[in-house]
């Protein structure tokens, strides 16, 4: 368990790197920066993320996020969990290992 920024116990701990193949020759890091914007919000959750926008011509308007917003403190955590579920279904070729934490991935292999 880890402590999330809001002080709650977080079931999304730091990754366990003990199983990494440290003798491999190819290491590639991938940062899926801002990829959580690709995660759609359920219709019943969208009102939680409503905000007002004021435009001189159109006046004040209320808008809602339809994707996981950047300003939500748990966006990265939720995206990391969704990515983990997807990666668990993926079987890489040539004994490639994928180590993942939040939106950062490390691919390890003995060959390119």
Q: How many other C-beta atoms lie within 10 A of the C-beta of residue 102?
A: 19
| Domain extents in the chain | 15-109
Q: Distance between CA 6 and CA 82 in Å, rounded?
A: 20
Q: Distance between CA 58 and CA 51 in Å, rounded?
A: 15
73-104 pLDDT tens trace = 888 888 888 888 888 888 877 778 888 877 78
34-73 pLDDT tens trace = 788 888 999 999 999 998 888 777 777 888 999 998 888 8
């Amino acid at each position: 368990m880890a402590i999330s920024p809001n002080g709650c116990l977080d079931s999304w701990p730091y990754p366990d790197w003990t199983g990494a193949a440290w003798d491999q020759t190819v290491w590639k890091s991938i940062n899926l920066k801002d990829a959580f914007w690709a995660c759609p919000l359920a219709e019943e959750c969208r009102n939680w993320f409503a905000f007002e926008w004021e435009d001189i011509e159109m006046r004040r308007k209320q808008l809602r996020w339809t994707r996981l917003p950047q300003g939500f403190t748990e966006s990265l955590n939720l995206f990391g969990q969704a990515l983990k579920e997807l990666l668990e279904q993926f079987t890489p070729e040539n004994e490639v290992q994928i180590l993942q934490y939040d939106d950062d991935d490390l691919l390890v292999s003995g060959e390119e």
